[in-house]
Structure 1
């Protein structure tokens, strides 16, 4: 993956806070500067939207979905009446226009599986894919080339429905700029990447500049013990909301106040010309479904 010229220009370094503590939420957040879309070769395109980056997103477009879709405990929440697991993605795609594939983290699917999923969703649907834990957790980004072919085949099989590749790094992986750069360099050309950096040592201006050089999105995150840094390192802002509980991840439902706050942040990113992909990962009790719908209502219609 070649560094993208121009993506990091004008990126505003925004105030740091540790969410979900309500008292720590920043106020008066300054909107990030506008960044022109670039293509995978680093050329600025004055006329196109983010589509030139391999994503079917317009400048300022917002998509909200969930992390995963096939949960038994979403029966009677999203799947009402219940449907077999084979039919859940099709039902999901009638409610949301994007999803974050989590199963790929545990076992990277064959290309035929990706093709099968594309046949169940509308043409304008976007599927973001979580990178395999073999790359991010077992090898901790060492020797990333071992995964290049499999990632390329899977992401290519999604065709126009391809979203971003999410690399979630483990919370015990401390900052290592050289290792991160090596992994980003190994990502197949045309694949857009978001990186979730869970260890606080990664919160550094040089790290954000590194992501910007590669056209990679810093993953803005909310969740117990996670640094919530409002940074935009590319023309697509990637957000993961892991739940409002101050002690545990993936549980609880966001309050109206929480969602109003996130809606304002999203509108600020929109106003700067950035597209936004936002996924709820608080799947317990179907909270992710309800919260995603509530946030979607706050930021505008599909």
Structure 2
């Protein structure tokens, strides 16, 4: 296949005190931390939108602070996903989408809908929730990804639902949460959660090589073998996908170095 999607690599957020002197220069202004991070990474997953709403002017300012090819992934509000009946979350979904996120313009990347580890897979309810996620907002195409954290989601029915609604399944590199490698929506989205402080780049160099290789497979449209499949008998057809690798959690102080090492290897 001659074409391939774009691969972007980043971290969660850009404000973390231990990054001062380890990622940011020691006396770098707090107000310019996003500028600095965006000059060395190609994407950031925003966690703050999970806890509270932002103003349209805030999203516009973020867009202005980063390079043209930079992308923000936004974690959707917890009020949408942390509920007993997901199908009743329409008002919360609308509130989240209507807070001004489209001010990011073409710098708006995937919207991450994250569920608690206690949330079990209910096909009817989960399908009703996915039906609440619109394909566009204010003329801007929306890309949705779901981060599920209960083992009951490791089943073909879940994969089929995500494919039906064009939603991507997060590939989670963690020993705490289920690992699901099936391709479903238009992007491949990996959250790499096992950075270690004793490694200068979070993951060992050979491990980062592995993520680089896997990202290239995903970008060309392949499924790869990094994660077990919930529907191994029903592989998605090969189709180029944009890829997002986020170094999240683990030894957070090492996350920027893991991302920068990955970007360097991708460009080598």
TM-score range, shorter chain: 0.7 to 0.9
Please provide the CA RMSD for this pair. Answer: 2.1
> Among residues 258, 265, 280, which one is paired with 2:207 in the alignment?
258
Q: What SS is found at the alignment partner of 2:169?
A: strand
**CA displacement at 1:130 relative to structure 2:** 0.1
Deviations along 1:182-228, one digit per CA (max 9) or x if unpaired, are 22221233221010111111011111111111111110011132222
Whether 1:134 aligns to 2:101 is: no
- Is 1:96 equivalent to 2:41 in the alignment? yes
Listed as ranges, the matches of 1:1-80 within 5 Å are 59-80=4-25
| TM-score normalised over the length of structure 1 | 0.73
Cα offset for 1:110?
Answer: 2.2
SS state at 2:50 partner: helix
Is the contact made by 1:224 and 1:244 (CA closer than 8 Å) also made in structure 2?
A: no
Q: Aligned residue for 2:114?
A: 168
TM score, norm. by length of structure 2 = 0.82
Count of aligned residue pairs for this structure pair: 239
Q: Quick check: 1:104–1:131 contact (8 Å CA) kept in 2?
A: yes
Is the contact made by 2:191 and 2:245 (CA closer than 8 Å) also made in structure 1? yes
Instruction: Give the structure 1 partner of residue 235 of structure 2.
Output: none
Q: Does 1:183 align with 2:129?
A: yes
CA contact (8 A) 1:69 1:92 kept: yes
By relative contact order (CA 8 Å, sep 6+), the higher-ranking structure is 1
Q: Contact 1:222–1:244 at 8 Å: present in 2 too?
A: no
Structure 2 partner of 1:7: none
Unaligned runs of 5+ in 2: 137-141, 222-239
**Residues in 2 aligned to 1:244 and 1:284: alpha-carbon distance in whole angstroms:** 5
For 2:32, what is the secondary structure of its paired residue? helix
Find the aligned partners of 2:85 and 2:251 in 1 and give their Cα distance. Answer: 28
Q: Which residue of 1 aligns with 2:182?
A: 231
Counterpart of 1:249 in structure 2 is none
**1:68, CA displacement in angstroms?**
1.1
Structure 1: any 5+ residue segments left out of the alignment?
Answer: 1-33, 35-57, 246-251
For 2:157, the equivalent position in structure 1 comes to 206
Change (3 A) 1:139 1:82: farther
CA distance in 2, matches of 1:180, 1:296: 35
The secondary structure found in structure 2 opposite 1:229 is coil
Partner of 1:278: 245
